[in-house]
Chain A
Amino acid sequence: MSSHSEIVASANGVSRIFRSKTGEVRALDNVSFTLSKGKTLALVGESGSGKTTAARILLGLDNPNSGIVEILGRVLGSLKHEEMRLLRREIQVVQQDPFSQLNRRHSVERIVSGPLMAFGVGDKESRRTQVIALLEAVGLEKEHLKRRPHELSGGQCQRVAIARALALDPKIVVLDEAVSALDVSVRAQVLNLLRKLQQERGLTYLFITHDLGVAHYMADEIAVMFRGRIVERGSREDVFENSRHHYTVGLLSSVPLATPTLSKAIRDQVQSLPSPGEGDACLYRTRCTVGLTREDCKSTSLVITQGTSTHSWLCHSPVQDSIPA
């Protein structure tokens, strides 16, 4: 984002294509983003937009077909096995389902000390001390050490997963829908915890979510994804208060707000969903009120428009006036 913040990870022109008998899916299509130290980038979008594929590639769990991913100055894919292993200490993940991401046969102590054991950190005693400190940092107590996941609530499991992710003191944490499965009151607790931990430890977050409210609360920078492409990217203010892409506007106006008197200014106009036009330049065209009638949205390839130093979009005819949030 801004030039004086230190960049800890970046994706540059990353594409990932899944091929099957029936054709190919561009899960990621020329996606670029950067993570700045101590900041949060939120990837938002609907299911199938490529958010999780982007996370998997950043974590080194999947390889792009093209493009370059750099983490702490090292290019993924060019590293030797041992170098990659060491790099994994610096980038950790918390997933969506509080229960399935934890081994249900292991105690909380075993789960949280897992990464420490994998890297041979300390002995059993010192690891226990470290685990207790981590549990306290995430709002759990010593008495939880011997519990197993089924004895914990969803929110507690998510705290255990966060403690495990922090065990090796990573620089980057990927949070893949990490609060989506939680109830409203518990989600608020976990979001507050994540903000506190970020401030205390200078963590960098890649926050993947379909929930715009959560992205708004957590992120410094937001990238809106649609069918494998980043269609708009900018600061929180850019994206929420000055949306330029029609999809972003549609997405924001679809969120039901818990204020009955605040009725929506704009509704997504297209009620029946036509199939995406094969070979259309803009993949949102068939759902877009502007794009449906414009020839260039169909035929002229899109290039990223850099509107301001922080705000960019992928659209031939962006929304002109600012939309009141």
Chain B
Amino acid sequence: MSALLQVRDLSVSFGRGAARVSAVDGLSYDLHAGETLAIVGESGSGKSVSSMALLGLLPPRAAHIDSGQTLFDGQDLLRMNDRQMRSVRGNRIAMIFQEPMTSLTPVLRIGQQLTEALVEHRSLSQRAARAKALEMLRLVDLSDPPRRMRQFPHELSGGMRQRVMIAMAMALEPDILIADEPTTALDVTVQAEILNLMRDVQACFGMAILLITHDMGVVAEMADRVVVMHRGKKVEEGPVRAIFDSPKAAYTASLLAAVPRLGARSAEDGPRPIIAQPAEPGEVVLHAEGMSKVFPGRGGIFGRSSGTVAMEEVGFRVRAGETLALVGESGSGKSTSGRAVLRLLEVDAGRIELEGDDMRTLSARSLRKARRAMQMVFQDPFAALNPRISIGRLIAEPMVIHGIARGSELEDRVAALLRRVGLEPEHMKRFAHEFSGGQRQRICIARALSVGPKLIVADEPTSALDVSVQAQVLELMLELQQSMGLAYLFISHDMAVVEEMAHRVAVMRQGRIVEMGPRRDVLNAPRHPYTAALLAAVPKPDPSAPRQKLPRLDLKDLPMGRLAQAAHDHWVAR
């Protein structure tokens, strides 16, 4: 069988002269009709760049295609002129992007955006294009297609927008669909639906999918064959089963080993012990009760709209040396809860006790003092460090604020902290942008540790990191907890990471905790249907498991009332 698309010896670089960086180096692969080929790699592996090169979407002045050819239908895509390329792009090869928020034009109605390409490429009449567009919207399972046609992108949710993108891409019945991280920006239950949809669409149209992703779970669910990339080079290629079961390249093996697998610790009570004698959970450090927060609607001259309930009656306890994971999808109120605990946000009602002190009644001055005991680690280590202050001063800052150390003692402590998190003291004089994502997160952790806190609120601390780096940061966090007896409030959307880190889990939805209990009980035998749905939606990094349709959940009839005790320390919403 001859390949639909043959990529041979493709090399792409950025910049010129001394600043030249090779992004893709001698990449070759074949894509056959009707198959799904996954290109997998971490950030900087060149996986996106190589596929953008196919469609001539690289920034023209910055990027150079140094060599290679990409044969599609007997023609070399890399040597097409603009007009030829336009007749291929969207028409024969369509693309969907990671960010459904920004890949639709915000000022045009969905209908217009859908029909545009049909009129352009297929010379359909407006009327025929409209009929086709409606058919496509129905095909991607959007409710009430005529209404969707009249709506603007901002009126749709992320998942709905990605459906529109797929409808748009498939309307011209392309031979190849390039999907660049199509579900990365979506919640896990929505991701499951979109992956289902992509499979259905492929079964219906028989196009080939070039799937670009960093997520091994998605690969296992979707791909027929896999190309693994690392630093611009292909390190391995093969059928998906072979890649997962017997990876030949060391890099593939290490990548797979770093992927957190849901169920890996289902037989264990706590997280993996890193040190010989880990500290056991001790006294209650944090006790939150009945926290509620309504974000007021936009205040106008003519009064306010009703506002959004971010958090309702949220309460939990965290013990020293213990991790409570707050799990949920975007908008579930998990980050709000974390920030409320630190009083980075004022709650409307509720009680927050840190080591017995009521945080809400503290004056500004004593609150500042109390902040010693609780620190935060943020999701985006790129934004969490002030870019204009050296990291030595950043790490020292909390100690300066609380008058813990000064002069040479301060410097010694900073050096020790850097060493503690696996960095060099010489790094002190550098600025945040000189470090990689993983190193920055280590710096953030060092900064949080500097004042000897009892509690660390970690808001998605690894979700901006590559899996191999994630594994290292998680291990560091476990090690610190076990040796120092830290309490973690660990906010995450990733069930597999939660399983690795947590002693106890609280599942949040729409501002409420719907289930809370020991990690093993909650993840192994969820008692709330929403928890069960979240767990089922997680793509399994195991291609040998049968690819079933992921379950769909009717979210309307979920019990969302008060928590009631279901078993020892296991609470479920009624």
Q: Do A and B bind each other?
A: no
